[in-house]
Structure 1
Amino acid sequence: MRISTSSFYEQNVSAMGLQQQKLFRVQQQLAAGTKFLTAGDDPVAAARALGTSETLALSAQYATSRDRAKLALSREETALDSATSILQNIKTLTVQAGNGALSDADRASLATTIQSNLEQLVGLANSDDGNGQFLFAGYKSANAPFAMQADGSVQYLGDQGQRMMQIDVARQMSTSDDGRSVFMSVQGGAGYVTSGPAANTGSGVFGSVGVTDATDPNYGKDFQISFAAGNYTVTTNDTPPVVAATGAYTAGSPISFGGLQISITGTPADGDTFAVTTAKNAGTDVFAAVSELVSALRTPLTGGGAAAQAKLQNALSTANVKVTNAHDNVLTVLSSVGSRMNELDSLDSAGEARDLMDQGYLSDVVDLDPVAAIAEFYQRQTSLQATQMTFAKLNSIALFNYL
């Protein structure tokens, strides 16, 4: 069969062009470091690579969210740690104020110190995250959550919202705690608080409340102990009140009622009362409790006799229990913050391990084997050169060369 010159040229040029394309493709793969250059080269692998890349990008976003959550929680942890130190100091000063050898001036000095601690506590409750967002304001984070009023009380201006952050595929975490839950709440197991009104005129001083029978039907209710004609009567704060116990008063003898027991010393006057109230109903505002403590310490005892001394001792006991409850509540929130930070660390470790696996899978799907690619490159380069040399040699053959 006769092959025309034009056909010979076309076939050889086409063959060399195809080999050049294959060589160029290998060069592009080596430059890009990938097995395929377009999705059309390997649609299945391209789809897998895209899905894995999206997973890695999402994981990186979760890691960024966790870093932000850690920063917010670490600042809250610092503020709460300082708050617990202040509350512990107030408790110490409260116990010190109970020393009967102190003068009115000494107690006034302690009151000044406690007032300073109160102001520091309000300052910590108004801590921000460094970007103008207040830690304990809930959703109203643009404004300071606590404000001291003219009468010395502290008002909460925030709300009880929790700022949530998506830190993993199926996990949202609160990166803040509202001020009401931190500084104006008590734990469910806080127990009872005893207090005496300012109208008491006797010298009765109450001790701590003990639980004797938590199954008593009246346990968990609020009570009032009233004194008249040498007797005591304990009633619940129900409507109408229910008498829980009665009896002749003997100083120092336990009074039992509603699964509780309390001892009272001194001589209560007729009409004197004491309230034995669950912690959640006794006033959970730590700022108010400390303010009442300051007022009690600034009240002179000189000339007041045993009644004034009894009022001070009762006020100190009430304040000590309330501050202890507040201290325990802040510690509980602090523990919660620590638990959340530990969870973030665990999620970081799990995320890093998952990313490592995904990156390995993505590398298997996408990354080029450089050794095999270089070998193919030289193979195709050699093949192209041989084809070119053969074409050049055949192209130079003519009958006239043999005449």
Structure 2
Amino acid sequence: MKVSTQLFNKQQVERFSKLNEDIQSLQNRISSGKNIIQASDDPIGAVELSGLQQVKERFNQYSRNADNAINRLTIADNALQAITNLIIRAKELTIQAANDTFGAQDREALALELTEMKEEMLSTANSADSSGAFIFGGYHTGTQPFEKNSKGVIEYKGDRGTNSVAVSETRNVGTTLDGGSVFMSVKSDESVAPMFNVLEDIINSIRTAAGSVVEAKATGKATLKIENGNPGNFSFTLADNVSTANISVDLPSTDLSGVVSAINSSGLNINATLSGNTITLEDSKNGPITIKDLQVEGIDKSEKEPKSFLTFDAIDGAGNSLGVPQVLYDKNQTIQNRLNDITKVLEHIANQKAIIGARTNSLDRQRELIAQRTIAVEKDMSDISDADLAALVTELQGQITGLQASQQAFVKISNLSLFQFLR
């Protein structure tokens, strides 16, 4: 086969160009530290690297989700801690208000402070994160969850949904607590009530405490009147100097004869007589007469203006009043009964905080797991994409040496012509 000088030169130039391209590629890989600059460098490795990059991005998203969830749960936890502090302060004020040395003016000052605390609780219940999303609104994160209606009653405008984020391929974690469960569902022994109502009940109890007693007492003789604004069953504890009896009577109207009959059949040393709407109680041994623990059917919370109550007045033998009439409200109206409500609220908040704490701890563990998985993926990516610099430098030196040798050979071969020989 005959090879012309022109063809030989062309082939050598193409060869030198290819060697320069290889050298340039090696230099790029060395300078970048990467084994794959473009997909053509290693098609199979490039595909694997692309898949691992997607996995890494997914893990990064899980990590960001966990961070956001912890931030929102922290806001919720701080809000509940603020509520806890408010309730503890409310308990302190309630204990103060139960002191008999406090007058109406003193109790009114306590009630005013509690009114401000109720407003503070409302503001805390409407807490939002840095993006303006409400924490306790359920799925309605853009709507203020708690508002006062035209009557001043606080209503929940959210729903019972719980926002959640994915923190792994198979797991979602809630980032909030719905306000209905947190603020509107405080369980007591017999009912479920909003947390705001507990403060309202305390305020009502404190304001009515100055005009009432927990236990009405007289010696020998007294009158008893019943204000029946909530027709239904009335029950109370009546005691003489020896025994105690529970009096329970249905009062569908103003007729008090059933009360008189119940007292006279109770076995106590107390005799009851009815004159008009007034019951006269007389101890046969001129001993003490005591009434307490009034419970009126249908009253399950403190009222701003009680409609059903007993008025007990100690009198002398001639029927003259011996002091100020004593008013006895339903047990749910008394300040002492509010302390139990406060305990229930604190227990309820502690349970909600426990839920937040459990989720936060779980998210912390999940973040650590995500970090470990991310490190493993990055190692696999490094094994595929990171260059072996020592090997590349050795290969580069070999390529450069080969190029130089080829160029020198080309020069020598190019000089082997007939003209050179004749010369």
Corresponding residue for residue 318 of structure 1:
337
Corresponding residue for residue 414 of structure 2:
395
Q: Deviations over 1:297-356 (max 9, x none)?
A: xxxx99874434x65885223322222212221222122222222222222211111111
Residues 111 and 294 in structure 1, CA contact (< 8 A), matched pair in contact too: no
Distance, in Å, in 1 between the alignment partners of 2:249 and 2:163 is: 45
Distance, in Å, in 1 between the alignment partners of 2:333 and 2:30 is: 85
Q: Deviations over 1:362-398 (max 9, x none)?
A: 0001111112112211110111011101110121134
Corresponding residue for residue 208 of structure 1:
none
SS class of match (2:166): strand
Q: What one-letter code is carried by the residue in structure 2 that aligns with 1:362?
A: M
Q: What one-letter code is carried by the residue in structure 1 that aligns with 2:411?
A: A
Q: CA, structure 1 residues 365+135, in 2 after alignment: closer, same or farther (shift >3 Å)?
A: same
Residues 122 and 146 in structure 2, CA contact (< 8 A), matched pair in contact too: yes
SS class of match (2:155): strand
Q: Deviations over 1:62-87 (max 9, x none)?
A: 22222222222222222111111001
Deviates more, 1:47-56 or 1:12-21: 12-21
Corresponding residue for residue 239 of structure 1:
none
Distance, in Å, in 2 between the alignment partners of 1:249 and 1:365 is: 96
Residues 228-307 of structure 1 mapped to structure 2, 5 A cutoff: 230-232=245-247, 266-268=290-292, 273=295, 292=302, 305-307=325-327
Q: Deviations over 1:113-143 (max 9, x none)?
A: 1111111111111222243322222222323
Does residue 1:74 correspond to 2:71, yes or no? no
Corresponding residue for residue 185 of structure 2:
185
Distance, in Å, in 1 between the alignment partners of 2:91 and 2:297 is: 22
1:365 to 358, 364, 384: 384
Q: What one-letter code is carried by the residue in structure 2 that aligns with 1:36?
A: I
Q: CA, structure 1 residues 126+37, in 2 after alignment: closer, same or farther (shift >3 Å)?
A: closer
Distance, in Å, in 1 between the alignment partners of 2:4 and 2:155 is: 102
Q: CA, structure 1 residues 50+275, in 2 after alignment: closer, same or farther (shift >3 Å)?
A: farther
Corresponding residue for residue 351 of structure 1:
370
Deviates more, 1:376-385 or 1:134-143: 134-143
Distance, in Å, in 2 between the alignment partners of 1:84 and 1:228 is: 35
Q: CA, structure 1 residues 323+375, in 2 after alignment: closer, same or farther (shift >3 Å)?
A: same
Corresponding residue for residue 42 of structure 1:
42
1:382 to 401, 419, 422: 401
Residues 39-188 of structure 1 mapped to structure 2, 5 A cutoff: 39-186=39-186
SS class of match (2:346): helix
Q: Deviations over 1:19-57 (max 9, x none)?
A: 333323323323443323443443332222111100111
Q: How far does residue 15 in structure 1 lie from its aligned partner after superposition?
A: 3.8
Q: Deviations over 1:135-180 (max 9, x none)?
A: 2222223232222345442222222221222233222122111222
Q: What one-letter code is carried by the residue in structure 1 that aligns with 2:295?
A: T
Residues 183 and 326 in structure 1, CA contact (< 8 A), matched pair in contact too: no
Q: Deviations over 1:225-264 (max 9, x none)?
A: 84599545699xxxxxxxxxxx9698xxxxxxxxxxxxxx
Corresponding residue for residue 259 of structure 1:
none
SS class of match (1:168): coil
Distance, in Å, in 2 between the alignment partners of 1:5 and 1:171 is: 72
The alignment of Structure 1 onto Structure 2 pairs a total of residues equal to 334
Residues 148 and 154 in structure 1, CA contact (< 8 A), matched pair in contact too: yes
Residues 303 and 333 in structure 2, CA contact (< 8 A), matched pair in contact too: no
Residues 203 and 267 in structure 1, CA contact (< 8 A), matched pair in contact too: no
Distance, in Å, in 1 between the alignment partners of 2:160 and 2:145 is: 11
Q: CA, structure 1 residues 376+294, in 2 after alignment: closer, same or farther (shift >3 Å)?
A: farther
Residues 93 and 110 in structure 2, CA contact (< 8 A), matched pair in contact too: yes
Deviates more, 1:72-81 or 1:145-154: 145-154
Q: What one-letter code is carried by the residue in structure 1 that aligns with 2:170?
A: A
Q: What one-letter code is carried by the residue in structure 1 that aligns with 2:184?
A: M
Q: CA, structure 1 residues 166+266, in 2 after alignment: closer, same or farther (shift >3 Å)?
A: farther
Residues 236 and 291 in structure 2, CA contact (< 8 A), matched pair in contact too: no
Q: CA, structure 1 residues 16+150, in 2 after alignment: closer, same or farther (shift >3 Å)?
A: closer
SS class of match (2:186): coil
TM-score, with normalisation over the residues of structure 2? Answer: 0.68
Q: What one-letter code is carried by the residue in structure 2 that aligns with 1:356?
A: I
Residues 236 and 247 in structure 2, CA contact (< 8 A), matched pair in contact too: yes
Deviates more, 1:162-171 or 1:7-16: 7-16
Q: How far does residue 402 in structure 1 lie from its aligned partner after superposition?
A: 5.3
TM-score, with normalisation over the residues of structure 1? Answer: 0.71
Residues 237 and 291 in structure 2, CA contact (< 8 A), matched pair in contact too: no
**Higher RCO structure (Cα 8 Å, ≥6 apart):** 1
Q: Give the fraction of aligned pairs with identical amino acids, expressed as a percent.
A: 26
SS class of match (2:172): strand
Distance, in Å, in 1 between the alignment partners of 2:412 and 2:44 is: 44
Q: CA, structure 1 residues 15+313, in 2 after alignment: closer, same or farther (shift >3 Å)?
A: closer
Does residue 1:337 correspond to 2:361, yes or no? no
Distance, in Å, in 1 between the alignment partners of 2:67 and 2:143 is: 24
Structure 2: gaps spanning 5 or more residues: 192-200, 206-211, 216-232, 239-244, 251-264, 269-288, 314-322
Q: CA, structure 1 residues 379+150, in 2 after alignment: closer, same or farther (shift >3 Å)?
A: same
Structure 1: gaps spanning 5 or more residues: 206-223, 236-246, 251-264, 283-288
Distance, in Å, in 2 between the alignment partners of 1:275 and 1:369 is: 86
